[in-house]
Amino acid sequence: MKTLCKSSTRFDKQALSLGFSELILQENAARGVAELVRQKLQTGEKILFLCGGGNNGSDAIACARMLSGDYECELYFITENLNANAQAQLNIALKVGVNRVSQPDLANIGCVIDGMFGSGLSRDLDAEIIRLLDRINAHNALKIAIDFPSGLDGNGNIRGACFKTDFTLAMGALKIGLFSDVAKDMTGEVSLVNLGLSDNRFITNQEDFLLERTDLNLPSRTLQNVHKGSFGHAFVALGQMPGAGIMAATAALIMGAGKVSVVGKAENLTPQIMQKNNFDGAGAVAIGIGLGNADIDISAIKHLPCVLDADLCYRAEIREFLPNPSAVFTPHPKEFSGLLRNLGLADISIEEAIKNRFELAREFSRQIKGVLLLKGANPIIAYNGTLYLCNLGSNKLSVGGSGDVLAGIILGYLAQGFTALEAAQNAVLAHAKSAENYQGNDYSMTPLDLIDGLRYL
């Protein structure tokens, strides 16, 4: 896992307290950007640097100075008000031949480097900046954002427009706003630039986390003297749309559950899934998938490891699971908005739920004993106030039934004894990796392809 933070202000202060100067930090930041430019751009190309008046602009100016001579570097400022560091960097850059322009000329531009706002943006962009960004986003030049694409605020929301970059170089620490749902189409490839201090010294207080591929822990069968009961009995409650529950049951089976049963009416049930009249013998249960208005008696299962999905978010019965430490709540934004309203925690629109998803997820996780998995382009797992994000999913997963498969994967993990947090973390990674491994066209993947891919992780 990688550590995420809200902003790097506290960490910058930590570096300064150790004797680093702001100019040293800026030199290291600029060097990281310059190294990427040299890897991606042929010598002699024209580079336009978009500069603000703060430290983000200072990084851009220093980078232009480092590349000047090998590249044709131009500085365009969106403000005349430069702080002391930016002015000092500009004085040096002009002396070594970097050009300052009064208007950005996109003709023959090979690269645009964004050093306007960074992660500190807290207002909507003015019309002139929006027009500039629209022009640049339409251009096919290589685009690099320093620390944060301009127009994206610290919560990962777009403030009128956003620099749509190919690469984002986060300075010193990864910021959580880079991994919002809307940021996914704006940030390009995100990487971290070391500012001269190792992570464990620069980042002294771990806040939230970004899951990585290497964090995936697949179910392991190391013992030979075992039987089907050794790997748990997973149950799925069927409802008005039983096909959704059957897909979840199939995913749980493929993910390693020793036995899988469904409770409810289903025709043409696959032979490896058993049909039951009640939840006797259940080790873990998935409820809400395709449930609709179907009746369900939760008295016997509310204490079990469980996945709470879809229609259950709107029903009063979900309150019975709030004290359950082994419960995983799996709403998408619309269901999350309904769940918050249902529980009396907030009365907000879907748009508000998306806009404030980090803090809403964090606060909700403090109100329950289990785990929240808020689905989206970059799913959020929230447990006891800590967030774990996964940015490995893709648009292949935008197909009906994908969420049912995810619920089934979580169920498979729970049935085998994984904790709710472990199940949620491993499930989003397995889900994303199965989609990543799919070899067909992006638009062609089905939930059954996704389930089949679980065999080969």
Residues 117 and 234 grouped into a single domain: no
Backbone torsions φ then ψ of 272, nearest 5 degrees: -80, -5
- Residue 57 annotated in ligand binding: yes
Residues 249 and 175 grouped into a single domain: no
Angle between helices 84-95 and 55-67 (to 10 degrees): 10
CATH of the domain at 93: 3.40.50.10260
In the listed set 206, 227, 242, which residue is the last one of a domain according to the structure? 206
pLDDT score for 202 = 57
CATH of the domain at 387: 3.40.1190.20
In the listed set 179, 206, 233, which residue is the last one of a domain according to the structure? 206
- Residue 119 annotated in ligand binding: yes
Q: E strands, 253-326, where? A: 259-263, 274-276, 284-287, 306-309
Residues 179 and 243 grouped into a single domain: no
CA distances to 202, 343, 423 from 4, rounded to whole Å, are 12, 29, 21
Overall number of domains in the chain: 2
pLDDT score for 21 = 81
DSSP for 324-341, please give it.
-TTEEEE--HHHHHHHHH
Residues 339 and 435 grouped into a single domain: yes
Residues 255 and 162 grouped into a single domain: no
- Residue 297 annotated in ligand binding: no
At 246, which helix (H) or strand (E)?
A: helix 242-254
In the listed set 189, 206, 223, which residue is the last one of a domain according to the structure? 206
Residues 112 and 240 grouped into a single domain: no
Q: Domain of 26?
A: 2-12+21-206
- Residue 58 annotated in ligand binding: yes
- Residue 196 annotated in ligand binding: no
pLDDT score for 422 = 99
Residues 234 and 320 grouped into a single domain: yes
Residues 108 and 245 grouped into a single domain: no
pLDDT score for 13 = 72
Residues 152 and 247 grouped into a single domain: no
- Residue 230 annotated in ligand binding: no
- Residue 55 annotated in ligand binding: yes
Q: What is the pTM of this model?
A: 0.95
- Residue 150 annotated in ligand binding: yes
Q: Which two tokens stand for residue 320?
A: 């019975």
pLDDT score for 206 = 65
Radius of gyration for the chain, computed over Cα atoms and rounded to the nearest angstrom: 25
pLDDT score for 19 = 74
Tens place of pLDDT for every residue, the chain, 457 residues? 999 998 777 667 777 777 778 888 999 999 999 999 999 999 999 999 999 999 999 999 999 999 999 999 999 999 999 999 999 999 999 999 999 999 998 999 999 999 999 888 999 999 999 999 999 999 999 999 999 999 999 999 999 999 999 999 999 889 999 999 999 999 999 999 998 876 665 565 668 999 999 999 999 999 999 999 999 999 999 999 999 999 999 999 999 999 999 999 988 888 999 999 999 999 999 999 999 999 988 998 999 999 999 999 999 999 999 999 999 999 999 999 999 999 999 999 999 999 999 999 999 999 999 999 999 999 999 999 999 999 999 999 999 999 999 999 999 999 999 999 999 999 999 999 999 999 999 999 999 999 999 999 9
CA distances to 140, 169, 305 from 137, rounded to whole Å, are 8, 18, 47
CA distance 453 to 152: 35
CA atoms within 13 A on the CB side of 1: 17
pLDDT score for 268 = 80
- Residue 261 annotated in ligand binding: no
pLDDT score for 201 = 58
Tell me which residue of 11, 442, 352 sits closest to 157, measured CA to CA. Answer: 352
Residues 190 and 111 grouped into a single domain: yes
- Residue 120 annotated in ligand binding: yes
pLDDT score for 7 = 74
- Residue 147 annotated in ligand binding: yes
- Residue 59 annotated in ligand binding: yes
Residues 256 and 198 grouped into a single domain: no
Residues 185 and 227 grouped into a single domain: no
